[in-house]
């Protein structure tokens, strides 16, 4: 193949596939190495599940028992959704896990007045979960119909590299609240994790001329800092500290090990018969649509880091449909949260330089295993959350840079290109800030209406 003269002398020639990937989508590392890499994917997505369950379970009235059982259910359904997406959906190396985009709608459901009449916390948790199940099942119809009817294929067909830049970039940047703020809850644990991860992934491989150090950088750094946190806990460093500090820093304050069962097989409708309410369904539909957009950007980034060719619109549409099936399974099993393509696991593809689909499928095996063996899964889930926050600082950064990498296909000397790029990035950050600030200062949404239903069910005066 003859190299064009313009590319031959260009310092960074444009490449359709990402260079430097050790194993692409269809190639597989050795079995022993693949198992360790799969466990890393499980470890990263587990952190997100623990964070989400820690947020939504207390307002629902649940205890550590319900929290541990919910984590087991989320793991089991995530394993099913990951396998279905990699086998029948986009067939890209993406993990399908819980989405932060559903947290606010879930809190909205949990704080509804209709559930406050249950004085028994367990009864309140079960009835709240049934309402969430019904809302998730109805909202799943949106991505299913958009995907299988080919409507999403028509939409993404107009997704040029320029329009994909803000889409993919904002998917990573939009999760900034889950990075350093989570790390800073226990700075003496989170900061060493961040430094070690950067050291093992960016510097040590070049010093030792080794390919495997950065491939297992996440596991090495997490085990090292986890052992360090255990020593601090055993030495009594947090004995007289405030409760929030102890919960963030100690390795024995999660309550998951005592709350988890030894063996538990999650089943559909385990919390009871789902209930359906219009307002809860409306807010969940909005979250499902946002999750669909987020997953589309994640699919594009996964294709880049997996050294795959450009993703056709038909594949993205098929992935949207199977994402909807995943949200439907969330409603059937009662995970308490909707699904999305995991952003942090796409960042892990970049850290390890392994985009193998088989590795991601093997990680689903760990999800199944530890969702059934609850006690063993709870031990891994007891990792202090600031360690997970440090991982996010690197993994979300890789996700954001995947979008910026698409700029190589754009004419940056065009004023129109600069306007589209700058305007979309700025408005993508500015518009959500307006709505957040409005609700915080006034307690209501920006739309004025005499309808009590609108204010109660859409903008949620319960949060005021």
pLDDT digits (tens, 9 = 90+) for 89-102: 999 999 999 988 89
Same domain, 401 and 444: no
Q: How many domains does the chain have?
A: 2
Same domain, 121 and 256: yes
Per-residue pLDDT at 4: 54
Per-residue pLDDT at 30: 92
Contact between 337 and 52 under an 8 Å Cβ cutoff? The reply is: yes
Per-residue pLDDT at 6: 52
Using CA atoms, how far apart are residues 259 and 224, in angstroms rounded to an integer?
26
Same domain, 447 and 365: no
Same domain, 450 and 392: no
Per-residue pLDDT at 178: 83
141-159 tens-digit pLDDT:
999 999 999 999 999 998 8
Per-residue pLDDT at 452: 47
Predicted structure pTM score: 0.89
Contact between 155 and 289 under an 8 Å Cβ cutoff? The reply is: no
Same domain, 335 and 445: no
Per-residue pLDDT at 170: 86
Contacts of 119 (CB under 8 A, 6+ apart): none
Same domain, 30 and 78: yes
The CA–CA distances, whole Å, from 162 to 98, 197, 430 equal 28, 32, 20
Using CA atoms, how far apart are residues 74 and 394, in angstroms rounded to an integer?
24
Same domain, 114 and 227: yes
Domain boundary among 394, 410, 426: 410
Domain boundary among 410, 433, 451: 410
Q: Is the dihedral of CA 460, 461, 463, 464 positive or negative?
A: positive
Q: For the chain, how far is it from start to end, CA to CA, in angstroms?
A: 65
Same domain, 294 and 366: yes
Boundaries of domain holding 450: 416-464
pLDDT < 50: residue spans in the chain: 1, 440, 451-453, 456, 459-464
Contact between 375 and 257 under an 8 Å Cβ cutoff? The reply is: yes
Indicate whether 3 belongs to any domain. no
Per-residue pLDDT at 462: 41
């Amino acid at each position: 193949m003859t190299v064009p003269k313009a590319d031959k002398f260009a310092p960074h020639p444009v490449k359709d596939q990402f260079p430097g990937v050790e194993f692409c989508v269809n190639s597989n590392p050795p079995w022993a190495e693949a198992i360790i890499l799969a466990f890393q994917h499980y470890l990263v997505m587990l952190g997100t599940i623990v964070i989400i369950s820690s947020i939504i379970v207390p307002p629902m009235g649940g205890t550590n028992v319900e929290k541990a059982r919910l984590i087991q259910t989320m793991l089991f359904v995530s394993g099913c959704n990951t396998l279905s997406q990699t086998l029948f959906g986009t067939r890209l190396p993406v993990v399908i896990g819980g989405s932060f985009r559903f947290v606010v709608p879930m809190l909205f459901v949990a704080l509804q007045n209709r559930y406050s009449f249950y004085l028994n916390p367990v009864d309140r948790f079960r009835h709240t979960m049934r309402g969430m199940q019904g809302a998730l099942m109805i909202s799943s119809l949106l991505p299913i119909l958009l995907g299988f009817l080919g409507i999403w294929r028509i939409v993404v067909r107009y997704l040029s590299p320029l329009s994909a830049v803000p889409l993919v970039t904002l998917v990573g940047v939009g999760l900034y609240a889950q990075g350093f703020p989570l790390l800073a809850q226990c700075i003496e644990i989170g900061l060493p994790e961040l430094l070690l991860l950067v050291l093992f992934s960016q510097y040590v491989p070049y010093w030792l001329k080794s390919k495997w150090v950065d491939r297992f950088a996440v596991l090495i750094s997490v085990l090292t800092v986890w052992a360090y946190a255990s020593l601090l806990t055993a030495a009594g460093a947090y004995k007289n500290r405030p409760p929030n500090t102890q919960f963030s820093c100690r390795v024995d304050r999660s309550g998951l090990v005592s709350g988890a069962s030894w063996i538990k097989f999650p089943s559909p409708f385990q919390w009871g018969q789902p209930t359906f309410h219009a307002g809860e369904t409306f807010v969940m539909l909005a979250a499902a649509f946002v999750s669909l957009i987020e997953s589309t950007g994640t699919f594009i980034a996964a294709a880049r880091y997996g050294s795959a060719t450009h993703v056709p619109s038909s594949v993205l549409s098929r992935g949207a449909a199977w994402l909807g099936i995943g949200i439907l399974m969330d409603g059937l099993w009662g995970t308490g949260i909707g699904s999305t393509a995991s952003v942090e696991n796409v960042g892990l593809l970049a850290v390890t330089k392994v985009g193998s689909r088989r590795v991601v499928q093997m990680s689903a095996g760990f999800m199944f295993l530890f969702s059934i063996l609850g006690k063993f899964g709870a031990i891994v889930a007891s990792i202090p959350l600031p360690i997970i926050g440090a991982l996010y600082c690197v993994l979300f950064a890789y996700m954001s840079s995947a979008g910026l990498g698409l700029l190589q296909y754009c004419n940056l000397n065009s004023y129109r290109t600069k306007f589209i790029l700058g305007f979309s990035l700025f408005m993508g950050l500015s518009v959500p800030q307006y709505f957040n600030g409005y609700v915080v200062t006034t307690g209501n949404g920006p739309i004025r209406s005499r309808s009590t239903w609108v204010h109660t069910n859409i903008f949620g005066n319960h949060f005021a």
